[in-house]
Chain A
Amino acid sequence: MMLNQWLPLLILASSLVPGLLIFYLSERRSGLRTWLNMSGAVLKLLLVGVMIWGVFHEQVYESRWTLAPGLELVLHADALSVLFVTLSTVLWLVTTVYAIGYLERSPCRSRFFGFFCLCVTATVGLALAGNLFTFVLFYEALTLATYPLVAHKGTPEAVRGARTYLAYTLGGGMVLLVGTIWLQTLAGPLEFAQGGILESIPGLDPTTLRWIFLLLIVGLGVKAALVPLHGWLPQAMVAPAPVSALLHAVAVVKAGAFGIVRVVYDVYGIEFSASLGLLGPLGAAAALTIVYGSVRALSQDNLKTRLAYSTVSQVSYIALGTAILGPLATVGGLVHLVHQGLMKITLFFAAGNYAETLGIHRVSEMDGVGRRMPGTTLAFTVGALGMIGVPPVAGFISKWFLALGSVEAGAAAWVIPVLMISSLLNALYFLPILYRAWFKPAPEEWPLDSSAAGPLETAGALLWPPVATAVLALAAGLLAAAPFSHLEWVQLIAAREYR
């Protein structure tokens, strides 16, 4: 029993403690720093493995700590939190390897990796949060931990981007805070429970609940980059590539999307939300975001900005799946939480490799890069095809379930067109990149050629992470129906959310 209480805390500590230690390391101790980083990441992965096994066998992992009367810090592992924790942990490990390679010989690495560890701690904390109060706590902590990462380069552009990021997220955090406090004064401690908790509480005014829902979704929508709250995301692109990768795949935007999932399913309850008429507006916002993000992505020449708008669009698939009533759509939304992470992190790693190795920042500079960097470009191709929704890459599975779910819920009339437009637009902004990279002739000389003489196209620490995540994205698609797959896990969650 002791372990069950301590496991969530240990999982947090496995990145918090290395982070705090790293702050105090001098710049030169790169060996020790790498060791701390990697051992923390591997240890976390092992601990999460134990947790998956336990949750599968219906063990209860819960830590509680009273901060003030009525305000409890609760860390609790349920099937949904395990899904997000696993995703964060796996991608953290990969990103750590990548970041070590990426930042080799750059200044202020102790500061960077310190905040990097804090960022993952906050993400895992909000994944494990057992009530809305704890969620808000880690949601704010995540803002604080990522701000120095976005501003890391210290250039005026980076400082400006970070300031925009901060203005959006702190404002959103405040709105979320007010909504949470308001709901808590009406309904008591908001412990997450499958099927929701509000329906069983008597005497709640539906209009008030709708206003509170609006506050919560606006607060979460800032991080989830719902239009029109997405303005910070393209500007936060000035961050170093590993940060962008983590921001887009797991940490920040996913925190928002995960929060929306929690609020709809485990606080309001999906059926109760539907009866309050909340799902329609949420679905409309998600559909608008999906189309708008894709349209904006079309006209971006900067590769990372194009990927950023693609994120704006893709993350809203999760919100879309949440907004459609029915277990199949739930599966589609939740499974995309994993799929978008795998695919987008691959794309950002690849973009970082182009920038680091060849100095390529723009789509228009990518002619013939496929032959120069085949491994990276192959990974990029897998990610891009997945985003479009080409089988057998993971993205196809998400869209399949979303479409099935919309038919089941009778919402096919608007959801399927949105999915089709989005896929078309995705193809329009990804396929030209692939065409340039593979089929156009390479220029005489690259903007920058810093690759070391070696058998590989770039440093190993830069090449293997995107390859690994691309393989994972492929495997997630190919093996989705295999036993013990993430899809089966998500179906388990979806089955429990409907009574």
Chain B
Amino acid sequence: MTSLLILPVALPLLMSLLALIWPARVNQIGVATGLLIVLIGSAIVALVAGNGVQSQVLGGWQAGLGIALYADGLTAVMLLMSALIGLAASTFACRYFAGKPTLVQFWPLWLLLQAAISALLLSADLFNLYVALELLGLSAVALTALGSGRAALKAAVDYLLLGLVGSLVFLAAVVLIYARYGTLDMLLLGAMLQAEPITWVALALFTTSLMLKCALFPLHFWLPAVHANAPAPVSAALSALVVKVVFYLLLRLWVDLFAPVITPALASVLGVLGAAAILWGSFCAIRAERLKLLAAYSTIAQLGYLFLFFSLLVVMPEGAQRQLLYGALLLFALTHGFAKSALFLAAGEVQQRLGHDRIAELGGFARALPTTLFATALAGIALIGLPPSGSFLAKWQLMAQALSLGHWYVVLVVALGSLLACIYLFRLLGCAFSPGLDKAPPVVERRAQLSPVMMALIATIVLGLGSHPLWQLLADVGGGGV
């Protein structure tokens, strides 16, 4: 059964080739792959929940030589999330790209991106992680370039250059580690790493590279243009998944690998940067004039929360409290993933139906596209962190842990950030509910796109009311070095 782990990587890779050679059936290939990955993801979650942590070395080689794969509770749940969001974006893409010449270019790249995401989640070897990171970056750049207009192209070029810089820095760190310790297998390395200058340099390089790739303030400058100009399904995946799996990698490195080297001061640096990201991202989102730009800035802010969690998590002693915070971090990441993909897909729908996504001119949106508006509002609730969304519970735990640790600034930042999020999202809803000038042609919503609604419902209702098994899974199977 352990050969299951390779499927989320191998299947989309093969299907991407198939989509390349059989362009007439790309939609069917893409959606079928999406469905299969969801099934595989569920199977892996069930496997991990039933049998504990799974690991596998491909090709019959011993660990350290073959391609090592590893899945614990965290991996399995993240995998299932990316599968579900991937499926939603895939079905959305069928209608989004219908009749466009970019359709046949989209699918192979899209499947490649999904393979890269799975590979990044499952790999347990630093070199493979580097390869996955490159694949992720390149396919994301190519997908961004499919957006219309010069802006998309320019954003893609910037994204490419920064991605390459980030990857090179990552590679340098990998080389340092290999030169010093002679292995790249994370399970082996975890026991070997020592607090010495070369390890610190490697940690600094890894962290800088991944901060750049997941757009932590102040290295966030590239993100708004890329996420706002990519085609809607791609934006959804970029914001909900790509930056998040990079964050996942950073978490893995800090918690599993470099845990002996981490000091509270280092962690609090990331926490402060996260706090700055929350405030700055929210502030920019308030001033954003386009819906997709608003969503992009909101991603910067929401990633800031993940770093706040992160800064508390890495300094907490092991035990029940840490476990709680760990679950809350995962819940926050999941809620943001589903909510943000819902928001971007809804924005894509708005852009296609109304011809633009300028917030100030969204009057009449409520009447024209009620289902899409419903998805937007639910996603907004989850992004603010109002009940009954999953992020409400996650923020509750974050504030509770921060209070018991005496980190008052975290509580203040979370409260302020949530209020700022209220401002930008209710401004959006206010414009959407306003009657509007009746100059635009009346749009009637026939066959509404359902994937944004499904994603938003998962973020609010399912994760809000039914997240208890998640904590159970993490408590049983562990993850994150707990």
Chain A positions within 8 Å of B, measured between CB atoms, are 65-71, 73, 136-137, 140-141, 144, 147-148, 151, 154, 159, 163, 166, 170-171, 174, 177-178, 181-182, 184-185
Residues of A within 8 A of B403 (CB): 181-182, 185
Q: Is the CB of A174 within 8 A of B419?
A: yes
**A78 vs B352: C-alpha distance when bound (angstroms):** 53
Q: Indicate which residue in A68, A136, A178 contacts B467 across the interface (CB closer than 8 Å).
A: A68
Q: Per a CB cutoff under 8 Å, which of B328, B392, B400, B415 touches A185?
A: B400
Cβ of B46 to closest chain A Cβ, rounded Å: 21
Which of B34-42, B198-206, B429-437 lies at the interface with chain A? Answer: B429-437
Residue contact A69 to B327, C-beta cutoff 8 Å: yes
Is B386 a contact partner of A140 (Cβ separation < 8 A)? Answer: yes
A142 → B minimal CB distance (Å): 11
Chain B hits for A185, CB < 8 A: 400, 403-404
**Interchain CB contact (< 8 A) of A68 among B327, B404, B434, B435:** B327
CB under 8 Å from chain A, chain B span 214-239:
none
A171: contacting residue among B399, B419, B465, B471, CB under 8 A: B419
Give the interface centre of A144, A181, A185 by most chain B CB atoms within 10 Å: A181
Tell me what chain B mostly uses at the interface: helix, strand, loop, or mixed: helix
A67 near B468 with CB under 8 A, answer yes
Q: Is B464 an interface residue (CB 8 A)?
A: yes
| CB-CB nearest in chain B for A151 | B433
A148 to B374 Cα, complex, angstroms = 13
Contacts of B467 in A (CB 8 A): 67-68
> In the complex, what residues of B have CB within 8 A of residue A69's CB?
324, 327, 468, 471
Instruction: Assess whether A65 is in contact with B411, with CB atoms less than 8 Å apart.
Output: no
Contact A159 B426 (CB under 8 A): no
State whether A154 and B422 are in contact (beta carbons under 8 Å apart), knowing that A69-B471, A184-B400 are contacts in the complex.
no
16 A–B pairs (Cβ distance < 8 Å), ordered by A: A68-B327, A68-B393, A68-B471, A73-B465, A136-B387, A151-B430, A154-B434, A159-B430, A163-B430, A177-B399, A177-B415, A178-B399, A178-B415, A181-B403, A182-B403, A184-B400
Contact A68 B468 (CB under 8 A): yes
Complex Cα gap A137–B395 (Å):
13
Q: With A and B bound together, what is the CA distance between A159 and B418 in angstroms?
A: 21
Given A159-B434, A181-B403, A185-B403, A71 contacting B396 (CB threshold 8 A): yes
Contacts of B478 in A (CB 8 A): none
Q: A67-B393, A68-B331, A154-B434 are in contact. List 20 more A-B contacts (CB 8 A).
A: A67-B465, A67-B468, A68-B324, A68-B393, A68-B397, A71-B393, A71-B396, A137-B388, A140-B392, A148-B433, A154-B433, A159-B434, A166-B426, A170-B419, A174-B419, A177-B396, A177-B399, A178-B411, A181-B399, A181-B403
Q: Closest Cβ of chain B: how far from A27's Cβ, in Å?
A: 11
* Shortest distance between the CB of B469 and any CB in chain A (Å): 10
For chain B, residues 417 to 457, give those with C-beta under 8 angstroms from any C-beta of chain A.
418-419, 422, 426, 430, 433-435
Collect the chain A residues with CB atoms within 8 Å of residue B435's CB: 154
Q: In the complex, how many angstroms separate the beta carbon of A271 from the nearest chain B beta carbon?
A: 27
Contact B465 A65 (CB under 8 A): yes
| Nearest CB in chain B to that of A134: its residue | B387
Taking a contact as CB atoms closer than 8 A, the residue among A71, A144, A159, A182 that contacts B386 in the complex is A144
Task: Tell me the bound Cα distance from A171 to B201 in angstroms.
Answer: 44
Asked if B275 is at the interface of the complex by the 8 Å CB criterion, the answer is no
Query: In whole Å, how far is A17's beta carbon from the nearest beta carbon of chain B?
Result: 14
For residue A68, which residues in chain B have a CB less than 8 angstroms away from its CB? 324, 327-328, 331, 393, 396-397, 467-468, 471
The distance in angstroms between the C-alpha atoms of A70 and B399, with both chains bound, is 14
Residues 258-316 of B contacting A (Cβ, < 8 Å): none
The verdict on B246 contacting chain A, using a C-beta distance below 8 Å, is no
- With a cutoff of 8 Å between Cβ atoms, the chain A residues found around residue B328 in the complex are 68
CA distance A159 to B468 in the complex (A): 38
B240: Cβ under 8 A from any A Cβ: no
Interchain nearest-CB distance for B12 vs A (Å): 33
Chain A facing B: main interface SS = helix
A182 to B411, CA, bound (A): 10
A65 closest partner in B (C-beta): B465
Q: Is B381 at the interface (CB under 8 A from chain A)?
A: yes
Chain A residue nearest to B418 (CB atoms) is A174
**Distance A306 CA – B457 CA, assembled complex (angstroms):** 42
List the A side residues contacting B464 at CB < 8 Å.
Answer: 67
CB atoms of B400 and A144 under 8 A apart = no
User: What's the Cα separation between A163 and B430 when bound, in Å?
Assistant: 9
The answer for the CA separation of A71 and B467 in the assembled complex, in Å, is 11
Residues of B within 8 A of A141 (CB): 386-388
Q: Could you tell me if B415 and A144 are in contact, using CB atoms closer than 8 angstroms?
A: no
Name the residue on A nearest B467 (C-beta): A68
Per the bound structure, the CA–CA distance linking A209 and B419 in Å amounts to 25
Q: Which of B371-419 contact A (CB under 8 A)?
A: 381, 386-388, 392-393, 396-397, 399-400, 403-404, 411, 415, 418-419
Complex alpha-carbon distance, A66 and B468, angstroms: 7
Q: A residues within 8 A CB of B397?
A: 68
Min C-beta distance of B33 to chain A, whole Å: 33
- Residue of A at shortest CB range from B468? A66
In Å, the complex CA distance between A181 and B381 comes to 20
Give the residue name and chain of the A residue nearest to B366 (CB).
A111
Whether B430 contacts A137 by the Cβ 8 Å rule is no
Q: How far is the CB of B256 from chain A (nearest CB, A)?
A: 23
Among residues of B, the one whose C-beta sits closest to the C-beta of A141 is: B387
Q: If the complex has contacts A69-B327, A170-B419, A181-B403, are A144 and B471 also in contact, measured as CB distance less than 8 A? A: no
Q: Bound state CA distance, A184 and B399, in angstroms? A: 11
Contact B387 A170 (CB under 8 A): no
**Closest A residue to B403 using CB positions:** A185
Question: In the complex the two chains form, what is the Cα distance from A159 to B327 in whole Å?
Answer: 39
| Closest 3 pairs between A and B when the two form their complex, measured CB to CB | A137-B387, A181-B399, A185-B404
Give B472's nearest chain A residue, CB to CB: A69
Given known A185-B403, A185-B404, contact A170–B422 (CB-CB < 8 A):
yes
Q: How far is the CA of A163 from the CA of B465 in the complex (A)?
A: 29
Q: Chain B residues near A181: list those with CB within 8 A.
A: 396, 399-400, 403, 411
Residues of B contacting A178 with CB < 8 Å? 399, 411, 415
Of all chain A residues, the one with the shortest Cβ separation from B426 is A166
Give, as a whole number of angstroms, the nearest-CB distance from A381 to chain B: 38
Bound CA–CA A282/B467 (angstroms)? 39
Q: Closest CB of chain B to A454's CB: distance in Å? A: 33
Chain B residues with CB below 8 A from A163, complex form: 426, 430
Q: In whole angstroms, how far apart are the Cα atoms of A43 and B385 in the complex?
A: 33
B residues in contact with A177, CB < 8 Å: 396, 399, 415
